[in-house]
Structure formats: C-alpha cells, structure tokens
Amino acid sequence: MTSRWLGLAALVGLLLVTSACEETPPLVPPDLCANVACPGGQTCVEGRCLATTCRGVACGSGQVCEQGACVEVACLGVTCRQGERCRKGTCGRVSCGAGVTCFPTERCVESACAYDTCLGIACPQSTVCRPGGVCQSVSCTGDFGCEQDERCGTDGHCVPASGCAAVRCPSQQVCRNGTCAALACSTDVDCGANEKCRGGTCLPVTDACASVPACPSGQVCRSGACQEVTCGAGQPCQGLEGCRSGRCEGPVRHEAQGMAPAGAVLPSGRGSVSGGISGGPMRGPTHTLYPGVVP
C-alpha cells in the first residue's frame, strides 16, 4: 500500500516537473484591423476607421482626427487642461518656434502649441483671426507686431502671410496677393483660377452669381438671381457696378476694361455712372461712358 502511494506521488511529481518545463506561448492580442478595409482618407485603429484629415487639413504621420484635432493614437480619449497638448499619451505644455512646429490643427501662441480656433476661417481684408475664431483689425509697424503666420501689410495692419487663403473678399471682388479688388473681364481667361467672368466682372466660382448669365438692363445679380437694386447716396452698388437713375447697373460688360472702383455718387447724365466705376471715357458698341462728367 505504501509503495503504491509512493509510486503515485512520484508520477504526480514527474508530471508537475514536465509541465513546468513546457514553454508557455505568449498571449497575442487579436488584430482588430485584420479584416477591416477603411475608405480613402481614413485608417484603422483598434478595429475603427478614423479620419486622417481634420477641418480640411491633413494630419501628420501616425496621427488621426479626434474632435476636430489631429492627435497621436496614444492620445485618443485623452483630455488635457487649457494650455496643454497631448503627446505620447501625456498632457503638458508643448513648446514651439525656432524650428519646432505644432501639429496641423494647432498654432504657435506665445511659444506654446495651442488648438487652432482660426483654422478654416477667412477674414475680411485687413483683418486677421484671433483666438476664439474672431476676426480683428490689428495695427502694426512691422512683421514683429503680428503673429508668426502673418505679416504687416502696406496699410499698417496685420494680414495673413499665406496670401489669399485666409482672406474673405466682399461681393464681386476677388483676392490678389492678399488684397481684394474688383477686376473687369471679357472672358474667363481674364480671370484667375477658380474664377468666372460674369457680367464683365471676375467672380469666385463659389459665388452664387458665377453661374448666372448677364442680367437684363436695370438689374444686377444678388444671391444668384437678377433683380433691381436701388442705389444712391449711402446706398452704393457693388464691385464695378454703376448707379444710374437710382438703379445699380452692371459694368456695361466689355466696356468695363480699365475702370477702377470709385466711392463717389455721381449725378445721372450723359453716360455718367456712380458708386462703382471711374476712369476716362470708354467707348463701346452701343454708347460711350463719361465717368464723372455731368452735361
């Protein structure tokens, strides 16, 4: 009896020693993205397709878009305090400048990376975007008085250094080198990229009037439709339009070449116009314009 128990004990001991010597395979987490095919502009992270662009800009390598910001995968779900940004899963102040750049959806503010609330916002001419997405007029005497991505314009105000990308022009004006202007045209060739020649004026293709043919006499285009628009003192017309007999008129199509916008209101008379154009006599196929001349 004793020998049998001794034999069983030896057998159990042998089994324990054998099992202890066996190599235990490491645990490998399943690849949740193995069978996931994401559409263009997205990448798979832990079985989810996440965008690699944020607010119209491409995120950097290894970054995805979360709540409107480009973040590293390790920072997904991490919320930082104001003034801090997440890097490698940890929140902290991220210095910038002197060759150190921020993520695409951030901007360098007082030598620290911050969430860019101005991304995608186009401001009126001679104004720039400030924290909170507010367009402001900022006076300057040199580039040092503006932000890193701005320069001091010729009018003594900070303007975007990116040129026209962050400039929003008034109706019937287009941007050139960061400056808005009303430009005359005869065909689309006279205008820039992404612009159309409509009624003798270059318009951005995004303008509702860019797809509207020339309006009848006495009417101009507003919000994509031809209509009568009253004009006079305190009620100027837009762009290269002229005010005649109390109604805004188009720039008389091809005759608009060489005319420049004017702010004065001129009386009605022989070819006189107001609130939109000025220059020397312009002769066209139907009549001659004498801007500023009163019979």
For 163-169, what is the mean pLDDT? 79
**Which position has the higher pLDDT, 231 or 271?**
231
Residue 185 has what pLDDT? 87
Interatomic CA distance for residues 277 and 262, integer angstroms: 5
Q: What contacts 24+ positions apart, CB below 8 Å, involve 75-81? A: 76/45
Residues 49 and 42: beta-carbon distance below 8 Å: yes
Residue 110 has what pLDDT? 83
Q: Which of 208, 197, 212, 211 is nearest to 251 (CA)?
A: 197
Q: Which residues contact residue 136 at a Cβ distance below 8 angstroms, ignoring those fewer than 6 apart?
A: 127, 128, 129, 130
- The structure's pTM equals 0.52
> Rounded mean pLDDT of the chain?
78
Residue 8 has what pLDDT? 57
- The residues facing 180 across adjacent strands are 175
**Which position has the higher pLDDT, 119 or 5?**
119
Interatomic CA distance for residues 19 and 22, integer angstroms: 5
Report pLDDT digits (tens) over 203-249: 988 888 888 877 888 888 888 899 999 988 888 888 888 888 889 88
Residue 291 has what pLDDT? 45
Report pLDDT digits (tens) over 127-140: 888 888 899 999 99
* Ramachandran angles phi, psi of 288, nearest 5°: -115, 135
Report pLDDT digits (tens) over 18-35: 555 556 677 767 788 888
Report pLDDT digits (tens) over 53-103: 998 889 999 999 999 999 999 999 999 998 899 999 999 999 987 778 899
Residue 43 has what pLDDT? 93
Both tokens of 198, joined, read: 């409509």
